[in-house]
Every structure is written in structure tokens, then in C-alpha cells.
Amino acid sequence: MTGAYFQRGFGLKEEVGPRLQAVKESDYSLRLGDLTFLLAREFGFCYGVERAVEYAYEARNRFPDRLIYLTGEIIHNPHVNQRLREMGIRFLRESDGDGPGLAAVRAEDVVIIPAFGVTVQEMQSLRDRGCVLVDTTCGSVLNVWKNVDRFSASGFTAVIHGKYAHEETRATASRTMRSPGGRYLVVRNLEEADVVCGYIRGQGDRTAFLARLAPACSEGFDPDRHLERVGLANQTTMLSSESLDIQERIRRALADRYGEEDLPQRFRAFDTICSATQDRQDAILALAATTAATRRTSPRWRPARSPASTSRTRRASSLRGASGTDPTAPPKRSRHPTGSPEARSRSGSRPARPPPTTRSARSSRPSRPCGACRWTDRGS
């Protein structure tokens, strides 16, 4: 089996492509008897993932006689990772935490950094070993890192919407350590965000706060001091409407505590949702809006470890399919450092949700990240 077979889409592009094209030309639908299959207008791997997988295959071809490692799963897709194992690529850390770790790497080895990226400390350790580095960190992840770097350098605490044990979030959080006094706090969902908001308003208990969120914050985190100035970021695969809701809730909490006029000195937020993630979420919501049967026709198969973006897209589909409306419609977006304008509430306690924003609001971001992947050969 030649290397060219593995370069793009596992060599099945020519076989699958015409079939998909036929479905697209039929308004993204396929009818077989009395059963109709509907295809979302955005689907499949994003550009960053495609490029990461492609670079892993190219690395095997370029260094056929070297030991090649991946720092962890290149993406959360068991079939892709199994294919890489079959090619002889070893994993320094498996999904269950097992593996030889960075200590196994020698100067003559090749190490592939996955699309999620690695922590600052892990990158430095690999560079110190003088190995060949194949860095496939996604450009959208790099965009988040740049914002976290700015937050930390300005004395703001980076509040990250994500899973604190996820590879990408661990890498993002580690960026705060590059600045003296840098700190971070990871919130998983709206419930945890409300705990943070309550504390900002002076309604929380310090002991209870730290007992609940200690695993998700930087060492020595002091909620009494470190929630006074906050910068929002997110794991790129989180549900976009939830990230924006968390952003708005924290903004309102800071406004309640310190006043609207002081917000520019207290709050920073930029839109760091991955454009591909947003496109797929928008596409599945549009598809769900066309029929109440979407929940019944959506795939029920689920791999042992589903990618975060896939799980959230499935969740968006289920929510829309259940009610026929979009319960995840986000508040008004803003790229300004001070966040979105104050949302007006019908009840006085929560903001009224406007209609879902369209993709045009995001058109200023390039759909394909530049410089997302690069070769670094050290000591080869």
C-alpha cells in the first residue's frame, strides 16, 4: 500500500466523492423508497483536522526508518487513531492516561503534536530533547492562545469555557504561566459559570468555591483577588451559544459588582469559537429546522470516545428537534474587548434571547487558518 493512498481521506475520496456530490446536487437529500436521508450542508473533518491527519501520514513517509510518536490522540476519532497505530506510530499518552510519556523520546525520534496542541511545559521538554517536531496545532487554537497571552500579560485572569482535563484546554491554560502572576479558571458549563458569577457579586463561600473548582484553576488561585479582572476564552469545540452565554453572564456579574463605567478595566472577551465548529452547528440547526423528524433520522451510533465538537453538534440537533425552535440562540456577539452590550431582560433576571445570528456575523475570520502546521527539525 503506497503512501499516496494515505495522503488525503484514507484513499477513499475518489470512491465516496461522487456519491456525496450526487446527494449535494439533490439539495443535500437522498430518497430510497419511502425513506429520505438529509445531509447537513457543512459536515466532516474541518481543515485543521484534515491537515493534522495528513501531516501524520506524511511524517511516516518522510521518516520511514525513525521511531515516530504522537503526544496523544491526534483527534478524538478511534478509527483515525487506530489507523495511525497500524502504521507504526506510537502514542506517548493514551486516552486512559497510560503510555511511556515524554521521557521515552530520544533526539533521533520524531514527535507529532496533535491539532489540540501541547502545554508550554511539554513543548519546552520536547525542544530540550532535540527531536524532530511535527507541529499540527490548529490555527483556531493558536488564535485562542494569542488572546490568553494578551489577558495574562495585562493582569487579567483567563476564564476558559471548556473541560479542564481536555488536551486543548490544558494547553490553553498553560499559556497563562508565560506571564508573571498569570492565572486561569476553567468552567465546564452554565452551572459552574453561575457559581463564578455568584462569587463575583459577593454571594459565594470561599471554601465551597475552592472545593468545587480547585482542580480547574491555577495553583494558588484566590477568588477574592483573581476574579476582579477577567478575560474570557474557550475550548474551540464547545457549544458556541453556551460560550457566549457564559461570557454575558460574567460580564453582567462584573457590571453589578463594579458598575458599567468600570467594565473596560475589568472585562475582556473576544470571539474565539472555531469557525468550522460554528459552521457545523449552524448547519445542523438549519437541518433540524426543516423537519421535526430530525431526531429520528439522526445517527444513533456513537464511538467509544466522540469528539467534543461532534457531541455538541449532536446536542444542538437534539434540542432543536425536540421543540422545533432553537433553544441555544446566543446573545448578541461582540469582538470588542469590553464584551457585548447589556442585554435587556423581559423578567429582569435573564436577558431575552434574540434570533440566532447568521454566519455573516463571522465572515471577518478566515475559514482556513494560516500557518497551522509546520515542520521543526531539531538535531536530526
Is residue 43 scored above 70 in pLDDT? yes
Q: Which three cell numbers stand for residue 245?
A: 452565554
pLDDT tens figures, 216-230: 999 999 999 999 999
Give the domains, in start order, of the chain with CATH numbers: 1-39 (no CATH), 140-275+327-362 (3.40.1010.20)
CA–CA dist 355, 360 (Å, integer): 14
Which of these is catalytic: 122, 167, 168, 248? 168
Say how many CA atoms lie within 13 Å of 355 toward its Cβ. Answer: 4
Task: Give the strand pairing for 184-187 and 230-234.
Answer: unpaired
- Burial class of 237 by CB neighbour count within 10 A (0 to 12, 13 to 18, 19+): buried
* CA–CA gap between residue 103 and residue 340 (Å, rounded): 46
Instruction: Write the pLDDT tens digit of every residue in 324-379.
Output: 445 445 444 443 344 433 333 333 343 443 443 333 333 333 333 333 333 444 33
Q: Does pTM surpass 0.85? A: no
pLDDT of residue 282: 83
Q: Which of 235, 233, 216 is nearest to 115 (CA)?
A: 235
> Cα–Cα distance between 155 and 321 in angstroms, integer?
43
Sign of the CA dihedral running 282, 286, 289, 294:
negative
DSSP state of 250: H
Query: Residue 73 phi/psi, 5° resolution?
Result: -60, 135
Confidence at residue 17, expressed as pLDDT on a 0 to 100 scale: 66
In the block, residue with C-alpha cell 434540542: 319
280 vs 108: CA distance, rounded Å: 40
Per-residue pLDDT, 360: 33
In whole angstroms, how far apart are CA 306 and each of 35, 77, 248, 272, 303? 27, 7, 28, 22, 6
User: How far from chain centre, in Å, is Cα 180?
Assistant: 26
pLDDT tens digit sequence for 187-215 = 999 999 999 999 999 998 999 999 999 99
Contact 229, 157 (CB under 8 A): yes
Radius of gyration of the chain, Cα coordinates, nearest whole angstrom: 22
Active site (annotated) includes residue 168: yes
Instruction: Return the beta strands (E) in the chain as ranges.
Output: 29-32, 35-38, 68-70, 90-91, 110-113, 132-135, 157-161, 184-187, 230-234, 267-269, 374-377
Residue with cell 497551522: 372
pLDDT at 252: 97
Mean per-residue pLDDT of the chain: 78
Angle (CA) 127-132-136 rounded to 5° is: 90
Q: Which of 243, 242, 267 is nearest to 254 (CA)?
A: 267
Beta-sheet pairing, 35-38 with 29-32: antiparallel
